[in-house]
Structure 1
Amino acid sequence: MALPAEFHEIARQVNNWGRWGADDEIGTLNLVTDSVVRAAAATVRTGRRVPLALPLRRDGLQTGLAAGRIDPQHAMIQLNQELFGPGGVALNDDIVTLGLQAGTHWDALPHVTHTGHLYNGRPATTVTAHAGAAFSGIGTVGALVSRGVLLDVAGARGVPALAPGHAVGPADLDAAAEFGRITLAPGDIALVRTGQMRHALAGDRQAYGFPSPGLSLHTPRWFHTHDVAAVATDTFPFEIVPPEIDGLWLPVHALHLVEMGLLQGQNWNLEELASACAEERRYTFLLTATPEPFTGATGAPVAPVAVL
């Protein structure tokens, strides 16, 4: 379906094209300055480290629903091979094939386009079959370290997980910020917990997929107002599915990636982090979340770690 007037009005309000110059490729990551990182480092009190990535394995999250995405296919290509003669040092080596968005990952800005454009007004045709993304590919992200904030929407509502059809709106994000006693600051990376990951951790990949709770069409303005640098969730589709407006698929992707230049992550495991934050009574932390730097790729695996 054609994008409705409501979408275009939100797009006008959150658009960041030209905000950091005509040549900019990283969008809201410009908000992660050296001073932001220094302040993020100062949040570390105990040194407790919480991994947020799911294991990359053959029986991962993918069920075939997202065409072409495959779980990691791992194989050994050398087994105790004595390259320098018998009795010497032997080598084991591996190879893997996977969809770059198969597990815990970041979507790069060219992951989606709309009306012929990607971030900063560049044409969608700059993504090609041979070279991938000529601009704003995942390799442009570089070292990503900032303050992370856990917006525990499920926790704020007092439930283990949100209902599959729950659209997380601005009021939910406000309530989660109040629940965690969080005052957001420019350059923060927001992690939105719905509790949906519990299905995947229990082995029910179908229940984890669709339908799913997720971010509402009305949340990009909230992230724009707070100058959030990136957003990640514990769901497969990131946004509410089925969509709020019948037939309007992935509008939040388009608003974040194309209009705002806002990096977004999916399939993040926030369950242990929610428990750790509740135990320590604080929901801010140092977050390291540098993606694998595949040149020209529109997404990449990431193994983020929260340090409390």
Structure 2
Amino acid sequence: MRALGREVSNWGRWGSDDERGTTNLITPERVAAAAGLIRTGEVFHLGIPLDGDGPQPGGLRINPIRLMSENGQEQVLPGGFKWADDYVFMPLQAGSQYDSLAHVHYDDQLYNGFAGDGVSVKGADKCGIHTQAGGIAGRGVLLDIAKARGVDWLEAGTAIGPAELDEVAAAQGVTVGAGDILLIRTGWRKKFLSDGDAAGFMAGEPGLSLNCATWLRERDVAVVGSDNWAVEVMPGENPGAAFELHMVLIRDMGLTLAEMLDFEDLSEACAADGRYDFFYAGPPLQFTRGIGSPVNPLAIR
């Protein structure tokens, strides 16, 4: 993992003070070009509902809890006016979410060499999710691995390697290039919609293999998102380590990950007309020093 991390490292590429990593590849020119992918105006939301029926079974992370602070029922105001308010208690990484570049690290260093102990009880002093607040928008590409394999979903522990990414891209007639927001459909969201088994959803997953890091670096992908909860295959390929692809992508490459997205409707639309690229718009919420952020991205075709 460490050797691979050195090979694909982006440290210093955008300066010694850079905290954004590969989202620097989403240039104004690439955003403008991606806008040309909007043809019909169809909009697909890729976020899962933020409610108590989500896939977080509790423990480390819970599904969002929404509470009413006012419902108007006991209000007596001039003219019959009534109002309601509510608020939410939730982990910032519950439901569809981005990982900030401060989310994981090893050997006491974050992305770009920033000190790991800069993540404190007050949050991340470097690489917090607020550094991505300029927006994550541009060309999105869906690689529908489950459909290519002819299954509803891949089984937990199924690794997706670089050769398969190439094969699926070729079969779909789409290329993956610099500044792209790459979305990987494994069918894992469909599994949860089918069985509602949160514990099973979180117990393992199909996902990208560790050697996909080189593939992503060669293509200068800006963001990788998936319909599972960690992007990478779980259990991992090396029993002696945990979340190796997370560490290489986030800590070494500075690549933002999006997790637990919903591609079901988008997948059907792409298959119907053979267009697997689109305009993607998915800004994170600007939580200062945050380790992650909920997101409801849009794919606009």
* 2:113 equivalent to 1:121: yes
How far the C-alpha of 1:107 sits from its partner, in A, is 0.4
- 1:258 — aligned with what? 251
Q: Residues 48 and 299 (structure 1 numbering): CA distance in 2 closer, same or farther, change over 3 Å?
A: same
SS in 2 for 1:297: coil
Q: Report if the CA contact (8 A) 1:285-1:306 is conserved.
A: yes
- Counterpart of 1:139 (choices 105, 130, 149) is 130
1:96 aligns with 88
Does 1:290 find its partner at 2:283?
yes
CA drift of 1:293 comes to 1.0
Give the structure 2 partner of residue 3 of structure 1: none
In 2, are the aligned partners of 1:82 and 1:91 still within 8 Å (CA)? no
SS, match of residue 241 in structure 1? coil
**Does the aligned pair in 2 maintain the 1:192–1:233 contact within 8 Å?**
yes
Match of 1:11? 5
1:118 CA displacement: 0.4
Q: Percent identity of the aligned residues?
A: 42
- Look up the match of 2:17: 23
The answer as to whether partners of 1:68 and 1:99 remain within 8 angstroms in 2 is no
1:74 and 2:71 correspond: no
Match of 1:148 among 140, 143, 147: 140
> CA RMSD of the aligned region, Å?
1.4
Is residue 2:76 matched to residue 1:48?
A: no
CA contact (8 A) 1:290 1:302 kept: yes
Matched residues in 2 for 1:33 and 1:241: separation? 33
More moved, 86-95 vs 108-117: 86-95
Whether the 8 Å CA contact 1:188–1:229 is kept in 2: the answer is: yes
CA distance in 1, matches of 2:53, 2:145: 29
Q: Cα 1:206–1:70, aligned 2, differ >3 Å: closer, same or farther?
A: closer
SS class of match (1:110): coil
Partner residue, 1:106: 98
Among 259, 262, 267, the alignment partner of 1:274 is 267
Q: Give 1:210 shift.
A: 1.9
One-letter code aligned to 1:272: D
- In structure 1, runs of 5+ residues without a counterpart are 1-6
Q: CA deviation at 1:83?
A: 7.1
| Number of aligned residue pairs | 299
CA distance in structure 2 between the aligned counterparts of 1:88 and 1:52, rounded to whole angstroms? 39
Q: Residue deviations 1:38-60, cap 9 Å, x none?
A: 11100111111111111000221
SS of residue matched to 1:209? helix
5+ long unaligned stretches in structure 2: none
Q: Distance in 2 between matches of 1:157 and 1:59?
A: 29
> 1:84 deviation in Å?
8.2
Q: TM-score, normalised by structure 2?
A: 0.96
Deviation of the 1:177 alpha carbon: 1.0
1:63 aligns with 2:57: yes
Residue 258 of structure 1: SS of its match in structure 2? helix
